[in-house]
Amino acid sequence: MSILVVDVGTSQVRASVVRADATVGAVERVPLPPSSPAPGLVEVDAAAMAVAVRDCAGAALAAGGPVEAVGVANQRATTVVWDRATGEPVAPALSWQDLRTVGTCLELQAAGVRLGPTESATKVAAILDAVDPDRRRDLCFGTVDSWVAWVLSAGELHVTDATNAGVTGLVTRDGSAWDPAVLDVLRVPAGMLPAIVDSTGVLGPATALPGAPPIAGLCGDQQASLVGQGCTVPGMAKATFGTGAMLDCCVGTARPAFGRQGPSGTIPVVAWRRAGRVTWGVEALMLTAGTCVEWLCDDLGLIPDPAASDELAASCADPGDVWFVPALLGLGTPVWDYGARGTLLGLTRGTGRAEVVHAVLRGIAHRGADLLQAAEADTGLAPETLRVDGAMSANRTFVQALADATGRPVEVSRELEATSLGAAFLAGMAVGTWADEADVAAAWQPGRVVEPAVDDATRTSLRARWLQARQRAERTIPELSDLSF
């Protein structure tokens, strides 16, 4: 029994067929880069996304079908508004990265309403202000999972799952329903919102695809990666290292006690919802990870491509006391300092390309350790290992540095993009391919396991030096450092 997965990321649409042994095949990709018409604005062509979804899914199905069900994983909080009658988008989708509503969020704070510019709430209001200021048109709002379900069902399904609803800023504290108070403040009509459904469960046929297999799983990308790496037991954690990095830890059925943010800067998230029951998690964020390696290539010209960072860094056994703080766009968890900036410290006349590249990889690894420590502090849980995916998980020097910084074995996913596995597991649980979360956990098979190579005393010393470097990077631009969402 195989599952078709549609995975819509920040820059591409990917479709694949996941088999019952958790192997992935028939992979199809279509680029879908966002556009930036002005600084801080990031838009996505939702109509082009619809075409890419149908084309990718159809090609993967033809190559690897038939399938029992369809699972969807997606970039979260990206906001699509479309006409209910025509099914056509009424404006460009606003990416989760889009910051045009920062001013609105600050104004709302003064009125006692806390929303972030990366959430969907103020984005949908901005689109409505532009295309329907009187709120009279019959429009639909959805995150990317909603839009994909609508497209694949030929307009029959207008739904979103609890993981995606939870990052819109529009739901109640328990994530079960839309919040009328926030809708009222933003003048968002309740009738344009999708139904909030389980992350795993049969929703309806994908009639836009041959054979009309049922859509049976919807999930935001980071939660899908959590499930895809078998972290379905409280206290298990994964980190995805891509352009940025996000660490998610499974907490259990009780919501974390804090509100929007924990004392150590993690965010409560719905990990998944099954049969109406929510499993909660916390999420810790690094704003720039792989971006820093791209900077070494594209802007500094130190290496020809990101993959070359591994070999060059490995040629330098120890970068010495050279430290890089990956804060090119600020620091996320635990300090949440938007005014922090990238910092390179400890340079000497003997510092060369290899030392700088190694320092960048080590700095990203220590930020990963920051995220893990924050999750532990906010949950009281202590993951015995850390599972990782994302493009940087292929970099052996980086993964070793991560094991050394965290003091934990690092289990590297066989699939660089474990989001597809997670979406498949969720859809598969709905149709019997996998029985339950325990069955999903048992399916995990890491590609390799990397053990720490330094002793505790060395690790403690390195972490102390890292924290000194991180503090040097903080509050570089104080007026931005004072912002909080």
In a domain, 116, yes or no: yes
Kindly state whether residues 237 and 133 are assigned to the same domain. no
Name the pTM for this structure.
0.96
pLDDT at 142 over 90: yes
pLDDT at 143 over 90: yes
pLDDT in tens, 383-427: 999 999 999 999 999 999 999 999 999 999 999 989 999 999 999
In a domain, 447, yes or no: no
Q: Structural domain tally of the chain? A: 2
Residue keyed to tokens 């066989």: 414
Confidence of residue 1 (pLDDT cuts 50, 70, 90): confident
Structure tokens at 336: 């949440």
Structure tokens at 69: 């069900």
Strands 43-44 and 200-205: unpaired
In a domain, 443, yes or no: no
Q: What is the pLDDT of residue 363?
A: 98
Confidence of residue 277 (pLDDT cuts 50, 70, 90): very high
Kindly state whether residues 184 and 246 are assigned to the same domain. no
- Contact present, 227 and 425 (Cβ < 8 Å): yes
Kindly state whether residues 180 and 270 are assigned to the same domain. no
Q: What is the mean pLDDT of the chain?
A: 97
In a domain, 348, yes or no: yes
Kindly state whether residues 211 and 344 are assigned to the same domain. no
Rounded to 10 degrees, the C-alpha dihedral 61/65/66/70 comes to -50
Tell me the C-alpha distance between 370 and 208, whole Å.
44
pLDDT in tens, 211-238: 999 999 999 999 999 999 999 999 999 9
pLDDT in tens, 169-193: 999 999 999 999 999 999 999 999 9
Q: Which of 221, 240, 264 is the last residue of a domain?
A: 221
Structure tokens at 164: 């995606």
Kindly state whether residues 308 and 379 are assigned to the same domain. yes
In a domain, 419, yes or no: no
Kindly state whether residues 141 and 45 are assigned to the same domain. yes
Domain of residue 388, CATH code: 3.30.420.40
In a domain, 372, yes or no: yes
| Helix or strand run (H / E) with residue 14 | strand 12-18
Contacts 24+ apart (CB under 8 A), 400-404: 400/450, 400/453, 401/361, 401/362, 401/364, 401/365, 401/366, 402/365, 402/368, 402/369, 402/450, 403/450, 403/451, 403/452, 403/453, 404/365, 404/452, 404/453, 404/454, 404/459, 404/462
- Structural domain for 373, as ranges: 230-412+454-485
pLDDT in tens, 92-119: 999 999 999 999 999 999 999 999 999 9
Kindly state whether residues 10 and 75 are assigned to the same domain. yes
Q: Which of 180, 204, 221 is the last residue of a domain?
A: 221
